[in-house]
Structure 1
Amino acid sequence: MSTASTRLPEGRYGRSSDERADRRLKVIGAALGALLLALIGYFAYHYVGQNKISGEVITFKPLKDSVQVHLEVRKDAGAGGYCTVRSQAEDGAEVGRADFRFDGDATRIDKVVTLRTTSQGTTAELLGCHAD
């Protein structure tokens, strides 16, 4: 005794609705993926390409009521701006925050700045640099 198959013969009646749905999902997924890549590229360009001033903390030295911070700032020639630095106590409370200006024609500036604190600071963190 044999059982009759309820499946249609392959290729005889066109594509099934499952295959059409799979193709539609692939097209939608590809379009959303391309949109996501374009969005990431847009934000990366504006974050990296348009930022005319950037910096980093090289070293810092905690003192009793201040923190000495060695900053390295890179900027476009003639561009001006400021970098914001903060310090935190051992318990995580913010004990100092200040903006330091960087102007002039130099494209790379190494500078040691003093951040005054309300109590003993244990960190120095660069929050960001902003062009004028």
Structure 2
Amino acid sequence: MRIGDLAQQTGASVRSLRYYEEQGLLSSVRTPRGQRTYDEDAVGRVRLLRQLYNAGLTSSTIATLMPCVDSPSTASTAATVALMRREHERLGEQVAELVRTRDQLAYLIDSALACAAEPTGPAAVSAA
């Protein structure tokens, strides 16, 4: 498939796909006219790359982890496993913070709804 097709299927920009290639995270084959073509496996790989970037991993961290995706049994060194554990822990902390923020927003919503339900104005004063 061509770069535009891959971009459309994955939601990644053409620029991002070119960047992934520059970083050695994605590979393509060039046609005689110099156009990039990708195999069907590229769709899953790009989706994974986007997840990792969206989670805050850096290009160098992702480059270190990708061999584990390609062949887990031979690429999982102790250092790579330690790196994955650190990222996993960091993501767990982010999830916990997001849950706390979500809970705070739920409280604020409930408070706002309770205030909106209370009668206000001159009619509320005379009823008291």
**TM-score, length of structure 2 as denominator length:** 0.33
Structure number, greater radius of gyration = 1
Q: Hey, which of these two has a bigger chunk of helix by percent?
A: 2
Structure possessing the higher relative contact order (Cα contacts under 8 Å, 6 or more residues apart):
1
Larger strand proportion of the pair: 1
TM-score by length of 1: 0.32
